Copies of this chain bind each other. A is one copy, B any other.
Amino acid sequence: MKIQLWREMLDPYDLAVKELITKFEHLKYEHKARGLYCPIEDVTGRVKSVSSILDKLKKKNLELEQMEQELDDLAGIRIICQFVEDIEKVVSIIRSRTDMTVRQEKDYITNEKTSGYRSYHIIVDYQVQTLNGPKTLKVEIQIRTMGMNFWSTIEHSLQYKYKQNIPEHIREKLSNAADAIEVLDREMSEVRNEIMDAQNARQIQSNI
């Protein structure tokens, strides 16, 4: 496929990512402006790179034409939360929005992947306007704590290096790290109410 055609195919996904970042950033701002604790700490997004798309198609034994149908994460949004409890809050906000429709939810927190990967994924349908009229496309929203995010960044790099064959001593380090992060997230949850009160108090103060 020519670079020009890739571009035309991926442009609407790029627009979806930009619109959704704008929307979730505003949600943060709106909480802050009203002195409310915000379950969203950070929002990022990306369109999948052409080389990653080609890798995934090959791995799944798919044709180029099946790309938009079969790949759920051409457009990806990542929402980082301070606490595990914030994740379900974000999920319920997404379910209640009328500008996107939930297609599928994957709870890799309750059902941790064997690799140790933990995150909550929601695939939504989202409509953008293009030069050829409206187009509805899929966007994958990943919701996770800072700890889960740290772990998966590292694991993703190692997966990339070793493909399926991460050496045992490294796998063990990763597993230890995952345990340390679970302890951390649990300790943090236990002081969460205290912290939420504290943060609200600060925001109200700084709005005065």
Which chain A residues have a beta carbon within 8 Å of chain B's beta carbons? 4, 7-8, 11, 14-15, 18-19, 22-23, 26-27, 29-31, 33-34, 36, 49, 51-52, 82, 96-99, 127, 129-131, 133-134, 146-147, 150, 153-154, 157-158, 160-162, 170, 173-174, 176-177, 180-181, 183-184, 187-188, 190-191, 194-195, 197-199, 201-202, 205-208
With a CB–CB cut-off of 8 A, which chain B residues contact A36? 131
* B160 lies within 8 A of A202 (CB): yes
* A174 lies within 8 A of B161 (CB): no
A93 to chain B, nearest CB (A): 9
* A177 lies within 8 A of B170 (CB): no
With a CB–CB cut-off of 8 A, which chain B residues contact A99? 127, 129, 134
With a CB–CB cut-off of 8 A, which chain B residues contact A26? 11, 14-15, 18
With a CB–CB cut-off of 8 A, which chain B residues contact A134? 97-99
With a CB–CB cut-off of 8 A, which chain B residues contact A51? 205-206, 208
Nearest B-chain residue to A189, judged by Cβ: B173
The complex places the Cα of A23 from the Cα of B23 at a distance, in Å, of 12
The complex places the Cα of A157 from the Cα of B199 at a distance, in Å, of 6
Given A98-B129, A99-B127, A146-B150, 8 further pairs, Cβ under 8 A: A8-B34, A15-B22, A18-B22, A22-B22, A96-B133, A158-B195, A180-B187, A184-B184
The complex places the Cα of A22 from the Cα of B26 at a distance, in Å, of 13
* B153 lies within 8 A of A82 (CB): yes
